[in-house]
Chains A and B, each alone.
Chain A
Amino acid sequence: MDDRREETKAPSTDPETWVESYGDYLFRYAWHRVQNRDVAEDLVQETLLAALRTRDGFEARSSEKTWLLSIMRHKIIDYIRKAGRERSMDNELSPDDISEEFFDEKGMWAVKPSCWDTDPGKVLEKKEFWEKLMDCMAELPKKMAQAFSLREIEQMDSEEVSQVLEVSSNNLGVLLYRARLRLRRCLEVKWLG
């Protein structure tokens, strides 16, 4: 179903129709950012319940979808913030992280990047590319995935991401660097084979 069609319908204020109208859209939005089905489903439920409770504050000039999405974004950020606190990220920031094995003791490439030789315009139209990208993101260690997701997919400022994850900007830099090293390598293996 084309998501665009939903925007042109007259806004429905019957919450019981929200799941059918917006459920999948909200689910996908969350799933792309948390890479976990159970979590994404819970976030949809929390979002719709929160929307139900604050419905009187809904201003008719913004679309219902936009309003629900803004609630979802807050829920995602809260989830990531809480999840970040529960885990120790020591290993993801330590010098022993496996990302460091991309280079030898002299700091030269241990496994050299291949030449991708691709036309970006053509590649980005291919569904397989998107699937591989999502697969690769799902394989990132938790904190790196969160940093990458907030920065690159949610497109938050570095400073905001640091605040949400409660890391220094230097540490955020390390997390993003390692995420990018791993993603690049993963894409090379999975997508180019």
Chain B
Amino acid sequence: MLSCRETTQLISESLERKLALRQRMAVGAHLLMCRFCSRFRKQLFFMEKALSLFVEKEKEGKLPVDREPSLSPEARERIKLSIRQESNSHEQ
């Protein structure tokens, strides 16, 4: 019988590769008897879903930008200056 540590390791691994049948069965058996690992699994999948949704929103430019950080004014000026300097050096 798998321990909780072993079970959670395999659950995490299943996000990277398909587990062997024996491993899937062992995880399944443990989950039937352990509500904590069942929670872990559910919560891990929830996190995965949240991150996919995040990435999707980011691509579509739909993140709540009022809570998102921005370039500091100093960084903004510094970068503009470096672009100007680089452009000018090309023209010479």
Residue from A18, A127, A129, A130 having most chain B Cβ neighbours under 10 A: A130
Q: Report the Cα distance A124→B60, complex, angstroms.
A: 16
Contact check, A107 vs B3: say whether CB atoms are below 8 A apart. yes
Q: Report the Cα distance A172→B42, complex, angstroms.
A: 22
Contact check, A19 vs B8: say whether CB atoms are below 8 A apart. no
Is A181 located at the chain interface by the 8 A CB criterion?
yes
Contact check, B64 vs A44: say whether CB atoms are below 8 A apart. no
Contact check, A177 vs B76: say whether CB atoms are below 8 A apart. no
Contact check, A52 vs B86: say whether CB atoms are below 8 A apart. yes
How many interface residues does chain B have, given as a range? 35 or more
| A-side contacts of B47, CB under 8 Å | 180, 183-184, 187
| B-side contacts of A152, CB under 8 Å | 48, 51
Q: Report the Cα distance A177→B16, complex, angstroms.
A: 10
| A-side contacts of B42, CB under 8 Å | 116
Known interface pairs A15-B87, A173-B16; A129-B50 also in contact (CB < 8 Å): yes
Number of residue pairs spanning A and B whose beta carbons lie under 8 angstroms apart: 144
Residue of B nearest to A115 (CB): B39
Is A62 located at the chain interface by the 8 A CB criterion?
no
Contact check, B8 vs A158: say whether CB atoms are below 8 A apart. no
Minimal beta-carbon separation of A29 from chain B (angstroms): 7
Is B70 located at the chain interface by the 8 A CB criterion?
yes
Describe B's contact surface by its main secondary structure.
helix
Q: Report the Cα distance A49→B79, complex, angstroms.
A: 9
Contact check, A16 vs B69: say whether CB atoms are below 8 A apart. no
Encode A95-116 as 1/0 by CB contact (under 8 A) with B.
0000000110011110011111
| A-side contacts of B67, CB under 8 Å | 127, 130-131
| B-side contacts of A107, CB under 8 Å | 3-6
| B-side contacts of A49, CB under 8 Å | 82-83, 86
Known interface pairs A16-B83, A49-B82; A116-B8 also in contact (CB < 8 Å): no
Contact check, A127 vs B64: say whether CB atoms are below 8 A apart. yes
| A-side contacts of B15, CB under 8 Å | 176
Contact check, A18 vs B83: say whether CB atoms are below 8 A apart. yes
Q: Report the Cα distance A123→B70, complex, angstroms.
A: 25
| A-side contacts of B69, CB under 8 Å | 27-28, 31, 37
Q: Report the Cα distance A32→B82, complex, angstroms.
A: 24
Is A41 located at the chain interface by the 8 A CB criterion?
yes
Please name 23 pairs of A and B residues whose Cβ atoms are closer than 8 Å in the assembled complex, sorted by A.
A1-B65, A3-B65, A18-B83, A19-B76, A19-B83, A27-B70, A48-B83, A49-B82, A49-B83, A103-B4, A108-B3, A109-B4, A112-B36, A113-B39, A116-B46, A120-B50, A123-B50, A127-B67, A130-B64, A172-B16, A173-B12, A177-B12, A187-B47
